Amino acid sequence: MNAAPGPSAQEIRHAAALLREGKLVAFPTETVYGLGANALDEAAVARIFEAKGRPTSSPIIVHVSGVEMARSLVTEWPPAAELLARQFWPGPLTLVLKKQQAVPSLVTAGLETVGVRMPAHPVAQALIEAAQLPVAAPSANRFTQLSPTTAQHVREGLGKRVDYILDGGPCSVGIESTVLSLAEPIPVLLRPGGISRQQIEAVIGAISQVSGAPAASAHPAPGMHPRHYSPRTRLLLVRNGELPRTGAGAYLQLQHSPLHEARETIAMPLDPHAYAAQLYRVLHELDARSYDWIAVDTPPDTPDWEAVRDRLRRAACNE
């Protein structure tokens, strides 16, 4: 999973020291790279918004070393949180719970809740352990741009806006965590992701869902800006291999052969997890080629493709 040699213990200590000084450190998680700051330091968190160019109306996920640290940030730790953390942590599941006062309202965009998650990546865990701090971290990209799944993506996207980058190789999950609110009477799926709704329902029973396109003003499902996770190139979701007839472009093929010519056709994995693991990297690469369009073979309308379909819908400009 973490095939690259990865940062040394000294680099981790250095990064942890920077976090404690209020600086920004980008680090790998199993989902995407995060842009981290001390979650309890409001000025440090303000720098995240600045570096991303992100409106402060979007709350930021807080990364923790385990259940104990998570509990220190929330006022209630309901049985569902305990069950889910036991089953899926460390891993790509963010739990939204009522926040403690110590969590600055800038982290939560003024909401009374905070999203917490224990990442599975060993470098992320080592960083949090070394810093002895909860680490607020959105994806380490400029607002509305593609999420980074390699350290190189972070360098290209944020450059000098980040104080330090820990390189842990490519992310294995490849799309962001599932965000589940436990602050409502019935748990609400705010963002599909690395852990599927079926996996969650197998543990805590039925959950409800905030669907589709959200208001521009966000909340309570922020991050749900219609255009999010987008390449610069026009991305089109297509069916049955129907590509645009004009301009030069690339086709991300799943099940349908292209009916017209594409400059480049990429055969994507038929397994949704393998597809997710490659998606952002492929889009980053294609985006660098300045095509007129990227056409994506629409994935099946089945539950196992929910998270991938969600990201593609947000990246596309035809919906």
| Residues in touch with ligand TXA (CB under 6 A) | 29, 31-32, 34, 58-61, 92, 94, 96, 108, 111, 113-115, 119, 137-139, 176-177, 179, 190-191, 220-223
Cβ atoms 9, 123 nearer than 8 A = no
Residue 31 in the binding site for Mg ion (CB under 5 A): no
Which one of ligand TXA, Mg ion, none is in contact with 126 (Cβ closer than 5 to 8 A by kind)?
none
Q: Shortest Cβ distance from residue 248 to ligand TXA (Å)? A: 31
Q: Shortest Cβ distance from residue 73 to Mg ion (Å)? A: 20
User: Quick one: which segment of 55-63, 85-93, 134-142, 234-242 binds Mg ion (CB under 5 A)?
Assistant: 134-142
Which one of Mg ion, ligand TXA, none is in contact with 170 (Cβ closer than 5 to 8 A by kind)?
none
Which one of ligand TXA, Mg ion, none is in contact with 29 (Cβ closer than 5 to 8 A by kind)?
ligand TXA
Residue 125 in the binding site for Mg ion (CB under 5 A): no
User: Could you tell me where the DSSP H helices lie in 112-183?
Assistant: 122-131, 151-158
With CB atoms as reference, the residue minimizing the distance to Mg ion is 139
Beta strands in the chain (DSSP E): 25-27, 34-38, 62-63, 93-98, 113-117, 135-136, 164-165, 178-181, 188-191, 208-209, 234-238, 249-253, 264-267, 293-297
Which one of ligand TXA, Mg ion, none is in contact with 131 (Cβ closer than 5 to 8 A by kind)?
none
Closer residue to Mg ion, CB minimum distance, 125 or 139:
139
Cβ atoms 150, 281 nearer than 8 A = yes
Closer residue to ligand TXA, CB minimum distance, 59 or 134:
59
Is cis: bond before 90, omega within 30 of 0? yes
Residue 108 in the binding site for Mg ion (CB under 5 A): no
What are the angstrom distances between the C-alpha of 242 and each of 46, 89, 133, 295, 313?
45, 41, 50, 9, 17
Q: Shortest Cβ distance from residue 261 to ligand TXA (Å)? A: 36
R_g of the chain computed on alpha carbons: 19
Closer residue to ligand TXA, CB minimum distance, 96 or 158:
96
CB within 8 Å of 178: residues ≥ 6 apart:
92, 93, 94, 189, 191, 192, 193, 194, 195, 196, 197, 200, 307
Residue from 29, 139, 178, 230 binding Mg ion (CB under 5 A): 139
Which one of ligand TXA, Mg ion, none is in contact with 31 (Cβ closer than 5 to 8 A by kind)?
ligand TXA
Q: Shortest Cβ distance from residue 233 to ligand TXA (Å)? A: 21
Counting beta carbons within 10 angstroms of the beta carbon of residue 182, is it exposed (0 to 12), middle (13 to 18) or buried (19 or more)? buried
Q: Shortest Cβ distance from residue 179 to ligand TXA (Å)? A: 5
Q: Shortest Cβ distance from residue 244 to ligand TXA (Å)? A: 30
User: Could you tell me where the DSSP H helices lie in 64-219?
Assistant: 67-71, 79-88, 122-131, 151-158, 197-204
Residues that bind Mg ion (CB under 5 A): 139
